[in-house]
Chain A
């Protein structure tokens, strides 16, 4: 199922990445909603990280919200209480996401199938209720308020402002494209191929001599690293950390985006995030019950279009290519 973007020896930056960067860059100029483009890219990063687990390794994790929330709280708390450099807080957010993923993963990969799903779900609930109860630290139900978003000072005297929507979007855009390049490099590497092997046939992967527990755990940590980073960016974006960031609903958001976009490739979840976020913005204005539309769409995709939107796009492109080449031959 996973085929695109997995050929070895791809250059770090090629046509695909340039197209992605270009299209993502257009977002703030085509969307009428001012803050939405940055949010889309943050969620896209989270969805891509989730898909490292489900699409590439075959692990359905309901625990991504915990990783996202840990990243968000880390950045938020470091900015509020210690006033660190934003980039330093983002590094810490990634690390806290990775460490949470290490703990959750270490336990969860002991089981497979449903029990794995239930374990990740239990851990998400644990982290949520702990965050909910630690009112003094996290603000509990009200969320962690008043997270500052200082400018990025690179050298003394040189400051990159992050205050307007566009400035902040550019910052997120650079981080996002950088992450996608790194994630693609990881997934194209021999390591990434082993993940796919584990997804396709875990018994055979064991039989050829791979320590699949090691690979699963590493996949978890990588996913946690980028989910935590997305969480940290979210705290900067919102200038607060709502309790929903760590709730199960964040996990399911990533799941829905990835599935609608298509699990089979690196780019599917990105498209899923774009479509879901824009649809939610437009539809929620028109009709309060837009989730009904989302749910029905989700069911239709599950039943008839398991490859997701990305699958539709690639199929259409393929058809177009065949048609064109057919015409060329005739003439």
Chain B
């Protein structure tokens, strides 16, 4: 096994991890604020990919079409998310936790079936955006340009979210709400509006991940299923509700997954889910979690 191969798999792991990060950040922030685990998060990731596909093919052969799709599709997903929060989730905040989980599970089912209904059961794909087609030669191995762009772009997005949460006054409300939502409500801030915003932001990030992954992985109706379970692992390992934890966890899971492909491919998923169980049992707040 050459050093080049190992390095390349490491890079692939970081790329994979970056996609997990983008999905898990939304999952984690939504958990921190709304206190629900969103089982529909994988389905909206798929929805993002399909929105981007439709937009890109609607605009046609123009070289910028993919970029417009990446910019607009997450907004569409965020609007869908806001609709879900306002019309469905909001009715469930005062009932037992288990019902909220099951409601998001039902929403996931509906979104998936709608995707199959609208776009058909067979997967879709788009060609690489021409600006980023091709590879970069690292000497020992070559690596697709698009994947490098993906990591840099997602890093910038994460920085943006960090700045939003830690440096803006609205972010302060979100942090306060994560800490104690009743108190925030008492201070005269409409916490439900914040819920809507956070939920649609989180869902929009999953949509962005779907749109960005589209040229690499295509769009399939059930693409959200496996990735959702992996992102549960990511947020649990990183610490539920923590932005930094989601980033750390995402990179760990991505790198472990692609390294295991070299070492022991059959054991990949077993190792990942065993790791999740061990983290919950020994350190439930995760590697970076606060509570």
Contacts and interface: CB of A to CB of B under 8 A. Distances in A.
Contacts of A122: 233, 273-274, 276-277, 280
Given A60-B98, A114-B37, A302-B103, A295 B232 contact: no
Interface string A79-119: 00000000000000000000000000001001101110111
B97 A113 contact: yes
Contacts of B112: 291
Interface in B92-135: 92, 95-99, 101-103, 105-107, 109-110, 112-114, 116-117
B91 interface: yes
B99 A117 contact: no
Contacts of B117: 289, 292
Interface of B, secondary structure class, is helix
B114 A126 contact: no
A65 B267 CA distance: 20
Contacts of A60: 98, 101-102
B269 interface: yes
B88 interface: yes
B76 interface: no
B240 A302 contact: no
A138 to B, nearest CB: 13
A295 B106 contact: yes
Given A126-B273, A133-B266, A255 B102 contact: yes
A291 B281 contact: no
B186 interface: no
B284 interface: yes
Interface in B236-291: 236, 240, 266-267, 269-270, 273-274, 276-277, 280-281, 284
Interface residues of A, number: 35
A162 interface: no
Interface of A, secondary structure class, is helix
Given A122-B276, A126-B277, A296 B270 contact: no
Contacts of B274: 122, 126
Contact of A302 (B97, B102, B280): B102
A298 interface: yes
A21 to B, nearest CB: 31
A54 interface: yes
A328 interface: no
A2 interface: no
A113 B110 CA distance: 25
A306 interface: yes
Interface string A240-277: 00000000100010010001000000000000000000
Interface in B26-65: 31, 37
Contact of B280 (A118, A259, A298): A118
A54 B284 CA distance: 22
A255 B117 CA distance: 24
B229 interface: yes
Interface in A114-146: 114-115, 117-119, 121-123, 125-126, 129-130, 133
A114 B97 contact: yes
Interface in A41-64: 54, 58, 60
A126 B270 contact: yes
Interface in B51-83: none
Contact of B102 (A121, A259, A289, A292): A259
Interface of A: 54, 58, 60, 107, 110-111, 113-115, 117-119, 121-123, 125-126, 129-130, 133, 248, 252, 255, 259, 289, 291-292, 294-296, 298-299, 302-303, 306
25 contacts: A54-B98, A60-B98, A60-B101, A60-B102, A114-B240, A115-B280, A119-B281, A122-B273, A122-B280, A123-B273, A129-B269, A129-B273, A130-B270, A133-B267, A248-B229, A289-B116, A291-B109, A292-B113, A294-B109, A295-B107, A299-B88, A299-B110, A302-B103, A303-B92, A306-B95
